[in-house]
């Protein structure tokens, strides 16, 4: 009776004079019952918050026709099921007020304080300006939410609950909007929930997205699953076999069927090309007991009753997952040959598995005993490390679209983990390379990375890491990231840091290129940059409402024509009889000069240059098809400097016999001759099953360096032909 009285509020004065009052009261009654764990004072404050939200959203309706504020109430109820504290419940009730009503941030702060207002502001989308597209606004709002999350992870909790309720009520939207929302949910929000161990949200979001993206597949799979697992005879038999043994040794445990995750089941069918029956050949059971020690004792009793299946045991208690997940996983055979897939965990482990470290963290702010256990400390550190990596990304890039693209690409990958030489664990997306690892440790280490060792042996920078490897990064002070790294890096931080360096370098070199191009144009008129008084160039720049640096950078980016500027500076007409000056190409790292991938020019080869607006000059070989089929009057005369710096890309097509160690022999030749492989593909030859075709891109100093490599490769027994791509 006492518990019922706690949430038995007087509805006579609640939401008075509000449209749709009955629907609001019904929704709030469910919330009050769920939030009965709050103190009477907190319940009064929650009701005041609801009154405020209903007033702010007055007159707004959902697509279904319900009063809009029923949505924030249901979002709050989702969080109340997880027994969150007052600030996050208040934030959920008010999460759309700043975005969708006339209430301002100062007004909310005055009514509910800075903590709640910061949570609401973190979840709120940015207002769309007239000249902004929908994708730009989405990207900016996404970045804003992540920045707020790094300061207070509760922001993402509210956003996930918001998205969960929206997915539960998605049927009111048009089909195209449903598909778009479902894809976004699956690719971003469910991935975020999984990355932070919030499986309560992840599983529901994935299954709801599945139901909208593939409704027929979902319906058939669900029907078959319910038919197959509606019977309780298996779990009853397990209880009958195991409970007496556990009672004899004084262990209390609950034994229940474990609900399968339909999206996970569907992915398993696709991944292994299995039928439904094959994918569901094991019967999922969960045993929850009171302590870690009891988990292992339950495991012993389970083995005494049923036969363990070889290689089907995983101990995530002794070796927890990086997001804090702990449990024993074991497959066993019953007497009738039914295979059980059993999870054994304690109540605390189950709470962490269902709601994640963030939920545990905030449920126990007043009692830190659970969080202070070593495995939870590690999980909390993982959460903070991942969030701070995202903060590093937003510090590096100021482009919201670039941030959005980088984060979503990282979220689309599953996790692996790697060790530093000192034993520290770094979580990375699958496909991550030593370069990603270096940037995960520190931005400067990534920038200065030149080589790597994995498990004590040399490892190519482009080659993906495998789980549980120890990675040592070899650095060289003053080294800079290479643009080619963007072809293989997997993490958002690495991608953003490399792009930042390229942009910074491009601006510096666009200025230098502009100065060189203007000097060439001036020499055609009998002058030069050195001979031109600084005051003349500065006066001209001012007349163009710019400055010297910007003017020269614009020339380098092909936003201004050097010939016209030189003519204006000299006050003369262009003399077309003068010999055109030649632009010298000095470096592979000159960001304002690009080596076109149609012909991959190398030092010592005849070349031509062509302007590309906003990019600078594209360099082609003189025998390139593009150069031969174009009007050469539109091209720039360029030549290699006497000494060139850096390594240049060259492509090779290698036809070889399919025999052991051929690939190792080829890479050994390239490595011994100082070449770095930057891309590599191998496929079966079209005309011969016993031969393979390798297409690879390597870095070389010049044409002579490439010729030496090709010559040595031709000496290998088994190489049929080598062609330059």
615-666 pLDDT tens trace: 557 788 887 877 666 655 557 778 887 788 778 888 899 988 888 888 888 8
Could you confirm whether domain 648-724 is CATH 3.30.310.80?
A: no
Confidence check: pLDDT of 336 > 80: yes
Active site residue 99: yes
Q: State pLDDT tens for residues 285-324.
A: 999 999 999 999 999 999 999 999 888 888 888 877 766 6
* Cα distance between residue 652 and residue 706, in whole Å: 10
* Cα distance between residue 656 and residue 663, in whole Å: 9
* Cα distance between residue 299 and residue 424, in whole Å: 31
Confidence check: pLDDT of 677 > 70: yes
Per mean pLDDT, which range of 50-64, 130-144, 523-537, 686-700 is the poorest?
130-144
For residue 150, the tally of other CB atoms under 10 A from its CB is 19
Please compute the mean of the pLDDT values over residues 63-89 and round it to a whole number. 89
Q: State pLDDT tens for residues 465-478.
A: 887 788 999 988 87
pLDDT at 359: 54
What CATH number is given for 228-363 in this structure? 3.30.460.10
Q: Which of 11-20, 153-162, 505-514, 548-557 ranks highest by mean pLDDT?
A: 153-162
Per mean pLDDT, which range of 11-25, 36-50, 210-224 is the poorest?
11-25
Please compute the mean of the pLDDT values over residues 355-381 and round it to a whole number. 51
DSSP track, 16-83: TT-TTHHHHHHHHHHHHHHTTTS-HHHHHHHHHHHHHHHHHTTT-B-TTSSBTTHHHHHHHHHHHHTT
Please compute the mean of the pLDDT values over residues 46-69 and round it to a whole number. 89
Tell me, rounded to whole angstroms, the distance of Cα 111 from its chain centroid. Answer: 37
The active-site residue out of 100, 241, 373, 605 is 100
Active site residue 380: no
| Mean per-residue pLDDT of the chain | 79
pLDDT at 266: 85
pLDDT at 131: 43
pLDDT at 94: 94
List the domain boundaries for the chain.
2-225, 228-363, 413-490, 494-581, 648-724
133 neighbors 399 (Cβ within 8 angstroms): no
Token look-up 């910061």 returns 118
Which residues fall within 8 angstroms of residue 240, CB to CB, at 6 or more apart? Answer: none
- 413-490, CATH topology level: Ubiquitin-like (UB roll) (3.10.20)
Q: State pLDDT tens for residues 264-290.
A: 888 878 877 777 777 677 788 999 999
Position with higher pLDDT, 260 vs 461 = 461
CATH architecture label of 2-225: Orthogonal Bundle (1.10)
Confidence check: pLDDT of 141 > 70: no
Strand ranges inside 547-637, DSSP E? 583-587, 593-595, 607-612, 616-621
């Amino acid at each position: 009776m006492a518990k019922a009285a706690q949430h038995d509020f007087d509805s006579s004065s609640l939401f008075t004079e509000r449209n749709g009052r009955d629907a609001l009261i019904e929704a709030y009654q469910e919330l009050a019952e769920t939030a009965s764990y709050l103190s009477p004072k907190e319940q009064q404050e929650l009701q005041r918050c609801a009154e405020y939200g209903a007033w702010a959203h007055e007159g707004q309706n959902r697509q279904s026709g319900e009063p809009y504020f029923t949505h924030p109430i249901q979002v709050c109820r989702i969080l109340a099921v997880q027994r969150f504290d007052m600030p996050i419940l208040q934030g959920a009730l008010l999460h759309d007020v700043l975005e969708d009503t006339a209430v301002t941030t100062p007004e909310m702060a005055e009514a509910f304080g800075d903590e709640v207002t910061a949570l609401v502001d973190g979840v709120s989308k940015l207002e769309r300006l007239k000249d902004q597209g929908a994708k730009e606004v989405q990207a900016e709002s996404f970045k804003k939410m992540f920045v707020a999350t790094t300061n207070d992870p509760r922001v993402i909790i509210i956003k996930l609950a918001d998205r969960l309720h929206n997915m539960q009520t998605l049927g009111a939207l048009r089909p195209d909007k449903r598909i778009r929302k479902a894809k976004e949910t699956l690719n971003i929000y469910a991935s975020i929930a999984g990355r932070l161990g919030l499986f309560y949200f992840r599983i529901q979001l994935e299954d709801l997205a599945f139901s909208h993206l593939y409704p027929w597949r979902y319906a058939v799979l669900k029907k078959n699953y319910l038919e197959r697992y509606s019977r309780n005879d298996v779990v009853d038999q397990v209880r009958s076999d195991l409970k007496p043994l556990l009672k004899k040794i004084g262990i209390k445990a609950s034994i229940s069927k474990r609900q399968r995750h339909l999206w996970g089941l569907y992915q398993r069918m696709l991944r292994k090309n299995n039928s439904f029956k094959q994918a569901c050949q094991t019967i999922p059971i969960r045993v929850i007991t009171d302590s870690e020690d009891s988990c292992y004792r339950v495991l012993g009793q389970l083995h005494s009753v049923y036969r363990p299946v070889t290689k089907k045991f995983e101990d995530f208690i002794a070796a927890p997952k990086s997001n804090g997940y702990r449990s024993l996983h074991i497959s066993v055979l019953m007497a009738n040959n039914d295979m059980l897939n059993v999870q054994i965990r304690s109540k605390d482990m189950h709470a962490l598995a269902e709601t994640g470290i963030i939920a545990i963290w905030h449920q126990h702010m007043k009692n830190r005993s659970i969080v202070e256990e070593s495995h939870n400390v590690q999980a909390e550190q993982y959460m903070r490390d991942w969030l701070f990596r995202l903060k590093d990304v937003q510090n590096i890039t100021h482009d919201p679209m670039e941030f959005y693209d980088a984060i979503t690409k990282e979220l689309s990958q599953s996790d692996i983990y790697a060790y530093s030489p000192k034993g520290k664990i770094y979580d990375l997306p699958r496909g991550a390379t030593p370069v990603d690892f270096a940037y995960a440790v520190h931005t400067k280490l990534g920038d200065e990375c030149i080589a790597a060792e994995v498990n004590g042996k040399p490892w190519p920078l482009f080659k993906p890491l495998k789980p549980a490897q120890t990675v040592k990064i070899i650095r060289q002070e003053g080294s800079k990231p290479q643009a080619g790294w963007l072809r293989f890096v997997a993490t958002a931080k690495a991608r953003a840091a490399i792009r930042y360096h390229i942009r910074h370098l491009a601006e510096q070199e666009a200025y230098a290129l502009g100065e060189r191009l203007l000097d060439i144009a001036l020499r055609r008129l009998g002058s030069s940059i050195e001979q031109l008084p600084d005051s003349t160039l500065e006066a001209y720049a001012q007349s163009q409402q710019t400055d010297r640096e910007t003017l020269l950078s614009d020339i380098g980016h092909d936003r201004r024509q050097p010939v016209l500027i030189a003519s204006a500076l000299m006050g003369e007409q262009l003399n077309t009889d003068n010999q055109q000056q030649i632009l010298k190409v000095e470096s592979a790292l000159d960001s304002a000069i690009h080596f076109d991938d149609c012909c991959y020019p190398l030092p010592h080869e005849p070349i031509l240059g062509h302007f590309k607006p906003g990019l600078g000059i594209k360099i082609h070989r003189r025998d390139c098809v593009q150069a031969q089929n174009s009007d050469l009057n539109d091209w720039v005369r360029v030549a290699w400097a006497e000494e060139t710096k850096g390594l240049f890309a060259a492509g090779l097509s290698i036809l070889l016999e399919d025999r052991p160690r051929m690939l190792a022999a080829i890479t050994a030749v390239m490595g011994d001759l100082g070449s770095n492989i930057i891309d590599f593909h191998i496929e079966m030859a079209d005309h011969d099953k016993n031969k393979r075709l390798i297409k690879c891109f390597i870095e070389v100093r010049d044409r002579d360096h490439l010729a030496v490599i090709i010559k040595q490769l031709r000496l290998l027994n088994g190489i049929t032909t080598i062609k330059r791509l």
